[in-house]
Amino acid sequence: MEKFNLKNNKALITGAGTGIGRAIAIEFAKLGADVVVNYNSSKEAAEEVVNEIKGLGQKAIAIQADVTKEDQVSNLVKKAVEFGEGKIDILVNNAGTLVKRCPIDEMDLELWYKIMDVNMTSTFLVTKHVIPVMKNQNNGRIINISSLAAHNGGGPGAVAYATSKAAVQAFTKGLAKELAPNILVNAIAPGIITTRFHDVYTPMEVRANFGKNIPLGREGTPEETAGAAVLLATEYGSYITGEMIEVNGGIYMD
């Protein structure tokens, strides 16, 4: 199992204070990585992640940044490079959310842009600023978080969200070609995962029926999603690029 090893790796994970981002940060640390825990508003949660990582014997730092703002992204990456002593080996673009369920005919341009910004523009901006670092070190792994919604159009009022996540998938494939052969770029498409996302945006009566439509009969966990990120970040993922790994319990099969 030696290839499942991230010793001496420096990882930057956006939106890492809660949910899937948190789980990825912890799993990376368990394998020996030092982690930059980016957050926007979840300061206490991010600091808890940092303390947990330090408890595992690894280094970690929490850095606040709104990753839809380029000046803040530039500062985030600068601080991450300083923390990593010149390196960023792994970037996980996890920041994103539904923002609000809203039918397209009722959606104003401000909400449309906000959804696109938090899911797609953030991925573009952080990646843009990390690429020179990875090119300088002649290697790197970029892992983008897309969604099941990129395939099926999402649930009610989630067309904009689904569109933004489909854009993440296309961005991943194009970037994989652009940055090959030394920087690998992949995406993960979580299905219905037990996180705050569904607590906020999915009615309980709808959520109660999720298991009936999932072949594995239940929601997934953030840790199960993090397992896919571990594969892509370690040497076991050294011949995978431009791919979207589905973590959905069988609800979507391509």
Range of the domain at 117: 10-247
Query: Average per-residue pLDDT in the chain?
Result: 95
**With 90 as the cut, is the pLDDT of residue 103 above it?**
yes
Whether 161 is catalytic: yes
DSSP string, 96-116: --------GGG--HHHHHHHH
| Given 39, 161, 236, 252, the catalytic residue | 161
Which residues have CB under 8 Å from 11's CB, separation 6+? 25, 28, 33, 34, 35, 36, 88, 89, 90, 91, 92, 233
What is the reported pLDDT for 204? 72
**With 90 as the cut, is the pLDDT of residue 200 above it?**
no
pLDDT tens profile 206-246:
677 777 889 999 999 999 999 999 999 999 999 999 999 99
Residue 246 near residue 46 (C-beta atoms within 8 A): no
More confident residue, 14 or 208: 14
Calpha distance 200→127 (Å, rounded):
28
Please report whether residue 254 resides in a domain. no
What is the reported pLDDT for 4? 82
Structural domain count of the chain: 1
Q: How confident is the model at residue 1 (pLDDT cuts 50, 70, 90)?
A: low
Please report whether residue 239 resides in a domain. yes
pLDDT tens profile 105-164:
999 999 999 999 999 999 999 999 999 999 999 999 999 999 999 999 999 999 999 999
Please report whether residue 252 resides in a domain. no
Please report whether residue 5 resides in a domain. no
What CATH number should be reported for the domain holding residue 61?
3.40.50.720
Please report whether residue 79 resides in a domain. yes
Please report whether residue 230 resides in a domain. yes
Please report whether residue 33 resides in a domain. yes
For residue 235, give the nearest of 97, 96, 89, 98 by alpha carbon.
89
